[in-house]
Structure 1
Amino acid sequence: MAGGIFLTSLPLQAQNAYFFPNAQHFDNNIPTPESFLGYKIGERQTRYDKVVAYMEELARKSDRVTIETIGQTYEYRPQVILTITSPQNHGRLDRIREDHMQLADPAQTAPSLENMPVLVHLGYNVHGNESSSTEVSMLTAYYYAANQDAETEQYLNEAVIFIDPALNPDGRDRHTNWVSMHQGNPPVSDPADREHNEVWPGGRGNHYWFDLNRDWLPLAHLESRNRLAHFHKWLPNIYIDFHEMGTGSTYFFEPTKQFSSENRLVPRSNYDGLNNIMAQYHAAALDGLGSLYFTKEQFDNIYPGYGGTYADFHGGLAITFEQASSRGNIQENSLGELTFAFTIRNHTATGLATVKGAVENRETFLRHQRAFFHSALTDAKKNPIRAYVYGETADASRLRTFTDVLLAHQIEVYEVENDQNIGGIPFKKGKSYIVPTDQPQYRMVESVFAKTTDFDDSVFYDASTWTLALAYNLQHAEAKSSVNKGKRVAKTTAENYKAPEKSNYAYIMDWADYNAPAALYSLQQKGVATQTIFKPITAGTSSGEKSLSAGSISIPVSVQKISADSLYKVIQKVIEENGVPMISVTTGLSLEGVDLGSANVKTLTKPQAMILTGQGVNSTEVGEVWFLLDEKLKMPITKVEMSSFAGTNLSRYTTIVMVHGQYKNVDDNAVQKLKRWIAEGGTLITFKSAAAWAIEKGLAQGEVISPNDTAKAERRIPFADAAATEGARSVGGSIYLVDLDLTHPLGFGYSDGKLPVYRNSTVYLAPSKNPYSTVAQYGESPYLSGYVSQANLDKIKNSASLLVHEQGLGRVIMFAENPNFRGTWYGTNKLFFNALFFGSLINTPGNY
């Protein structure tokens, strides 16, 4: 890599070396990062609290800088944004924002662009262990706070710069602590050194080990929701997402691979125009340093949920920077030694070049944003779909959460004015909404609702589909003609369910609502005895007949350890906290279906869950389970390292979860221990490769269909096509329809047997030989959205999606997919909830 001498000597030089050749005159009253921190940038990793403290000091010392807290992380670290511009612009920020927002509203007259600043947002360190960019944020903030050159003053007059020093503070500190704990003096460059190899799960994800760079669309996490609110407050013209990649690489900036890495909804002017304009500035900055780089390759611009893509859908230019990572302070690679300081220098150069390019092309960016939202309306008119209508009659919580996501993305949503039928699907007033395509956010509307089956390429950096309407399993339809809209929805409100009349016999809670599992666990935590009804019933209440689905929860009064009055207070509290309806009954005699004393009403055990963790296990999937139980159910789950599993007493656990991963560290003795635990009544829940592992180890009976093509590969394929050919054989993320057995305990709470599922693996399970145990199965035509090769689709057809194998008194529940993908698959979360709460009750008659 060019500049090898500079790499190792930079920390010993003046701070201004990072700004070469731009550094000239700096205000001595503004502290440098070095003077504040006590060490030179690049010598070590900086803790997030010290980063924030330095940014606060800049805001205190400079009239060019203000700082605001937009929220806090799960670990209570503040999320801060610096606003840097001229003092004159600071005095009129509200007016700047109002004028700028008019660009995004085609209904308003365009404001004059003559004195309108361009908005540049620099977002650093979304992946916690890609740590160089947070150091860059301090250098960049210092540069614009202290530099007194005429050029910089011009930039500050013509731009407003937002700096987010760490989009993932929790993950960053996890990585920073690791590197600092193992940093040598002198530093160790050997890639095998512990400093360069974090222990599982590493610092990439947030507190729950989620990849926040994928969360801009689903908004599963509070960091993302806080960040998005700031984004929509300003709608920046340029958004830079700073990343790192493998140590052996160089530097990447956009444009990406044409067409195949681009989203068809985004105007070509974005890719062919703005991207190429900025590429000249970024190339010049790195050329000036002698740094190697590449462009036009496979970094994804398709998915609107990336930080490096989201602004493309809002009239801005989103750009991903990828710098080869030292993963510590110095590490050997094929070109010599890569230092932390060198990685910081490159990112600093491209960040400063971004501001320069934005200002010198200010009106181009502003005109683009104005044209973008006008063209959205033009494109919408070409679409034969006039609106998407969606609704849900039984699960108000899931419907409300989906609507909240749309509103967070500034998508116009309207109430359904009256009951209507669209495409053979009934939509009820008060339980349905309309999203017109003719709106400025047309491109986001299409991203949320449209199914994608046509692609320019067969290799994907990540997911190939993200249709949220399918993820939430909501009834939805395409309206090809005008639909009468009701009132526009400004915000949703939770259903204000009142407690039913006090009963001396029983209360019943329908299992259909997404929040019902949380309510059930809350009851169990409070010591309330609960049961589930295995068949649908119709109960008589003071307000008339009430039909209840299988899985409904019965709370008999007489068997409780507390009085009827105390129980009623608990019921009131649980309804208030969880927003779920309950009814009270005065008799166990049902109007239809089984009575409450039937053998079909079974007593529930409070789940006590464990999940296996450690090297080889997919940390993101572990985090998804942890997040789901923590945030949705308020249920603790014990995280046990595979290396500790053999010595763990399993008797306290009702359920063990194993997600996708490799379980080579679970030895034969541990397998036998697990087998005994299952036979004694335990429930093992497995995802994807863990299901295949359970079958291989004899914990469950079943057949894994080979992912390899059976035909012999006799034809020759050019070596240059190897990546594309092999990549096309993967299942990178696509959506399918399965048939769900609604009578099975794992299907409780669903009203429609046709369920969309998300698949991103090549684990294929054959249907069970037990005719009762294939709970969900793909049909002959399961494909809904996303890329899949014909060979993979043929394997998916008629295979099993969800199986149960009973072993002694226990059972193994095998998911071919991940029902909790990215915290946004609300439609399949209930399958997992059912496995937790009802798994121990699965007992199939017969001998299979």
Structure 2
Amino acid sequence: MKKLYAALFLVTFTISAWAQLKSPSEFIPNYGKQISYYHEVENYFDYLTENSALIKKQKYGMTNEQRDLSLYFISSTENLKNLEQIRINNLASIGLSDSQPAAVNDKIIVWLSFNVHGNEFAGTESAMTVAYELLNPSNETTKQWLQNTIVILDPCINPDGYSRYGNWLREISGKKTHPGLYDREHMEVWPGGRYNHYLFDLNRDWAWQTQIESQQRIKMYNQWMPQVHTDVHEMSYNSPYFFPPAAEPLHEFIEQYQKDFHNELGKNISQKFDKQNWMYNTRERFDLFYPSYGDTYPTYNGAVGLTLEQGGIGAGREVTMENGVNVTIKDRLTHHATAVLTVVESAAAKREILLKGFRDFHVNSRKKAKGIYNTYVLKSNPKLEQLTELLKKNDIEFSYADASAGASGFHYQNKKNESFKIEPNDLIIKADQPRSVLAQVLFEPNQKLNDSLSYDITAWALPLAYGIEGYAVKNNLSVKTKAKIETAEKTVPASVYAFYVPWNNRVSVQVLSALHQADIKVRSAMKKAVFGELTVESGGLIISRADNPKLADFEKTVSNIVKVKTDYTFITTGFSTNSKDIGSENFKLLKAPKVLMLSGKGIVSTEFGANWFYFDETISYPISIVEVSNLNRVKLYNYNTLILSDGTYDLSEDQKKEIDGWIKNGGKVIAMSNAISLFEDREGYALSLFASKEDKEKSEKEQKELELKKRFLDFEGIERRGISGSIPGAIIENKLDKTYPLAFGLGNSYFSLKSNERSYSLLKNAINAVYIPKEYISYGFVGNDIKKKLNETVSFAVEKRGDGNVIYMMDNPLFRGFWENGILLFSNSLFLVH
């Protein structure tokens, strides 16, 4: 009897606890008035999980700063019991699982992502209210939605950025808010909380998955494949709320059912906002084109991807908008919660239509390619190693040719249709596969841009990003294929004269990084050298016994480092057959870089972050990072390499002179994007916008004539006229000086991702190693005015000054960490240019 009473008490207590589920404001002190600590957010979701039968937690990873990444599944108790079967059924329905669907009713999966940008914190705050309302025992409406809906809720995609911003705001907050603009509460300090640990913008990393948060999250996403994905953001605090429909350009592969739901959702949210007299806008700014956003990536995977934006960046706890109205944290999170819950409501109401559209999207794209190409062929190249890793992360199927065959197709590098030969080990990607649309979006050479006012870069063709010769073929190819390339394991001889490591991908750089850190001497080939049947290409690394006489067990030590490079080999003699012996001037002894990089106010956070990530994660090489304000405390002569990321540097004349002297005595500066302005038109330096006085005068005259013509133009077209001089992000062909180390390993040409309008004439008294030719090939949007200005301009140049060098980089080759051939170019500047 006592046991029965105990059981009844436990049931009664549990029901009572669920009936009294605490809201966020009851659980977290100052909820809606101050940003919540990340551990408070986690504690609240743990509380919900422990006190409701309608929610399950799944940890899916950790950040660089060791914070948990977690998903919360919210649905009916019956659905949660069958969660795994529902997942498998969903994948099976679109050809992503071999399992046969069991007798489980069709459920719609709605994924809600909050706070990809850490300082847009009202997203995470609203996630708690959304979860509460979905679980609230007294909310019968939401329970109806959950009968056939699985909500997957990620309360914070970017915990490191959220915590960086939150800790700062907490530290500078007083007891009273400061809605006036002139308070530090509205003046976030460098680098800000928007980005993750390495200062990457995670909202632009969905497809590339360079960051650990993206890799872990998208692995989970691809295991679930939701029908709706909502990406919750904030923007400038003066901006009215944004919800779908999205703005143009819309990618041509987007289906009508996806557009229809955008329109339906817009009407539904607007009705809720109208009742509260909340301001909003639709179809402005936020387009659906670039494939690596939180709305486009799901869209190209068949979901209805959408963005929600609340005005709030820079608002702190409270701010006065330009209309005189104050907006608070409570306002911001309430707007978000209303919109997000409407997404769930609308998806539940349109469940059958969305499920049909989602499944048809996948089935139909396999029957017939959405684009004009059915197959993509990339010629055998060591850089395929990195490209296939990207394809695996996105679950895109590929194979390798196992025979030779003739074919014809669009040649990416020449931008022409050509006949070519498929050879064994060429990479084959077919449009006929479960990830058909995403594969085509990433490989289609010419995406149709139906509106040039795009929010982001407009070209990203992977063969050009990776520096691999490629073809897009209209028909299906019948060539024999294999799943992988077999590589024979090497047996290291008992005695090796030298090891040879080809310089042709990022693994080459990782090997050199490890060799330098082990204090092993390395040489690099300036020209092609032939040793019997072995050809050493320019840039190839030579590790000889003669250079390392004190190295214990030379063969074992070196082979343990270089074995990650599958195409390394041995040289049994230093005598070449083309007069390029290992002891000749052709093989230059490399100097290990001692690197200093500046950080701090004025430097573009993401560009600095890309450089930092390169050193820390891509090549694992030591680097000293110093705030610009502390440069006067640094002894430059302890370093031989100075990296200036994109930005504006507030250096005194004495500091500039000190850098000048350091360069003359053997220092190397790598100046990127706007940082090159430190050397522009300075005495003794070659960098100038114009090649001659006449060119400068001609440009100034043209500008004055243009200003006179503009007097007669209307105001309405000012924005569109402005883009004629812009280049938001396009792929530009560059010629290479292949005899110079900056170009080693890049191939026959280099395609740069250009996202700024700066253009410099070919430099005098410098090496124009990478430059744009007169009639260049381009992909993506390039404004008419800037297009002609780019003819015969330099992209990457090296100026010798005394015993040192200045390397000018007009473009950032490490942009967003995904431009693979750019990683090799930057590595050339760091390790090979002396």
How does the TM-score come out when normalised to structure 1? Answer: 0.90
Match for residue 749 of structure 2 among 750, 754, 760: 754
Instruction: Verify: 1:308 aligned to 2:303, yes or no.
Output: no
Note the alpha carbon deviations across 1:691-717, whole angstroms, 9 max, x for none.
233223346313215898634231422
Match for residue 480 of structure 1 among 447, 471, 474: 474
Q: CA deviation at 1:32?
A: 3.0
What CA distance in whole angstroms lies between the structure 1 residues aligned with 2:683 and 2:94? 59
Contact 1:171-1:205 at 8 Å conserved across structures: yes
Instruction: Verify: 1:721 aligned to 2:709, yes or no.
Output: no
Q: CA deviation at 1:650?
A: 0.5
Distance 1:232 1:810, change over 3 A: same
Match for residue 542 of structure 2 among 551, 554, 570: 554
Letter in 1 for 2:526: F
1:712 equivalent in structure 2: 706
Contact 2:115-2:156 at 8 Å conserved across structures: yes
Q: CA deviation at 1:559?
A: 3.5
Letter in 2 for 1:276: N
Matches within 5 A, 1:499-538: 500-538=492-530
Say which SS state the counterpart of residue 817 (structure 1) adopts: coil
Contact 1:174-1:203 at 8 Å conserved across structures: yes
Residue range with higher mean Cα deviation, 781-790 or 404-413: 404-413
Letter in 2 for 1:507: F
Match for residue 193 of structure 2 among 203, 227, 234: 203
Match for residue 362 of structure 1 among 324, 348, 351: 351
Residue range with higher mean Cα deviation, 298-307 or 556-565: 556-565
Q: CA deviation at 1:453?
A: 6.5
Distance 1:622 1:502, change over 3 A: farther
What CA distance in whole angstroms lies between the structure 1 residues aligned with 2:291 and 2:727? 20
Q: CA deviation at 1:584?
A: 2.5
Aligned residues: 796
Note the alpha carbon deviations across 1:218-270, whole angstroms, 9 max, x for none.
1111211111111111111111101111111120001122xx33111112332
1:32 equivalent in structure 2: 23
Distance 1:818 1:56, change over 3 A: same
Distance 1:411 1:557, change over 3 A: same
Letter in 2 for 1:239: H
Residue range with higher mean Cα deviation, 772-781 or 275-284: 772-781
Matches within 5 A, 1:217-616: 217-257=207-247, 260-271=248-259, 273-325=260-312, 327-335=315-323, 336-377=325-366, 379-380=368-369, 383-393=371-381, 395=382, 398-422=383-407, 423-430=418-425, 432-452=426-446, 454-487=448-481, 489=483, 498=490, 500-540=492-532, 545-560=533-548, 562-565=550-553, 567-576=554-563, 578-616=564-602
Note the alpha carbon deviations across 1:615-662, whole angstroms, 9 max, x for none.
222111111111111111101222222222233211111111112222
Contact 1:48-1:172 at 8 Å conserved across structures: yes
Matches within 5 A, 1:681-700: 681-698=666-683, 700=685
Letter in 1 for 2:731: I
Note the alpha carbon deviations across 1:821-846, whole angstroms, 9 max, x for none.
11001112111101111222xxxxxx
Contact 2:255-2:361 at 8 Å conserved across structures: yes
Contact 1:498-1:575 at 8 Å conserved across structures: no
Letter in 1 for 2:271: A
RMSD (Å) for aligned C-alpha atoms: 2.4
Q: What is the percentage of aligned positions where both structures have the same residue?
A: 28
Note the alpha carbon deviations across 1:59-106, whole angstroms, 9 max, x for none.
222211111111111112111100011110011112212222233239
Residue range with higher mean Cα deviation, 555-564 or 801-810: 555-564
1:787 equivalent in structure 2: 781
Letter in 2 for 1:439: Q
What CA distance in whole angstroms lies between the structure 1 residues aligned with 2:594 and 2:190? 24
Say which SS state the counterpart of residue 143 (structure 2) adopts: helix
Note the alpha carbon deviations across 1:650-694, whole angstroms, 9 max, x for none.
11111111122222x112111111111111111111122222332
Q: CA deviation at 1:196?
A: 1.8
Contact 1:497-1:581 at 8 Å conserved across structures: no
Say which SS state the counterpart of residue 756 (structure 2) adopts: coil
Gaps of 5+ in 2: 1-15, 408-417, 691-695
Letter in 1 for 2:144: Q
Letter in 1 for 2:373: I
1:742 equivalent in structure 2: 738
Note the alpha carbon deviations across 1:303-361, whole angstroms, 9 max, x for none.
12100222211221111011010531111211321111110110011111111111111
Letter in 2 for 1:417: D
Contact 1:123-1:163 at 8 Å conserved across structures: yes
Say which SS state the counterpart of residue 695 (structure 1) adopts: coil
Contact 1:26-1:146 at 8 Å conserved across structures: no
Q: CA deviation at 1:494?
A: 9.7
Instruction: Verify: 1:809 aligned to 2:809, yes or no.
Output: no
Contact 1:535-1:593 at 8 Å conserved across structures: no
Note the alpha carbon deviations across 1:470-503, whole angstroms, 9 max, x for none.
11111111223331254574xx799675363243
Distance 1:506 1:46, change over 3 A: same
What CA distance in whole angstroms lies between the structure 2 residues aligned with 1:529 and 1:732? 43
Letter in 1 for 2:361: F
What CA distance in whole angstroms lies between the structure 2 residues aligned with 1:392 and 1:827? 15
1:702 equivalent in structure 2: 687
2:126 equivalent in structure 1: 136
Letter in 2 for 1:237: Q
Contact 1:516-1:580 at 8 Å conserved across structures: no
Letter in 2 for 1:666: L
Distance 1:104 1:645, change over 3 A: same
Say which SS state the counterpart of residue 797 (structure 2) adopts: strand
Q: CA deviation at 1:724?
A: 2.0
Say which SS state the counterpart of residue 366 (structure 1) adopts: helix
Distance 1:307 1:640, change over 3 A: same
Gaps of 5+ in 1: 1-24, 841-848
Say which SS state the counterpart of residue 123 (structure 1) adopts: strand
Distance 1:718 1:81, change over 3 A: same
2:66 equivalent in structure 1: 76
Contact 2:673-2:810 at 8 Å conserved across structures: yes
Note the alpha carbon deviations across 1:730-760, whole angstroms, 9 max, x for none.
110000111111210111223x321211101
Residue range with higher mean Cα deviation, 93-102 or 699-708: 699-708
Contact 2:228-2:303 at 8 Å conserved across structures: yes
Note the alpha carbon deviations across 1:757-807, whole angstroms, 9 max, x for none.
11011111211223x711012112223311012221111122112111111
Note the alpha carbon deviations across 1:162-221, whole angstroms, 9 max, x for none.
110111111111111111111110122222211221211111111110101001111111
Match for residue 40 of structure 2 among 28, 44, 50: 50
Contact 1:412-1:488 at 8 Å conserved across structures: no
Letter in 2 for 1:684: V
1:653 equivalent in structure 2: 639
Distance 1:465 1:345, change over 3 A: same
1:799 equivalent in structure 2: 793
Q: CA deviation at 1:468?
A: 2.0
Match for residue 159 of structure 1 among 126, 149, 171: 149
What CA distance in whole angstroms lies between the structure 2 residues aligned with 1:485 and 1:125? 46
Contact 2:33-2:328 at 8 Å conserved across structures: no
1:6 equivalent in structure 2: none
Say which SS state the counterpart of residue 616 (structure 1) adopts: coil
Distance 1:585 1:439, change over 3 A: closer
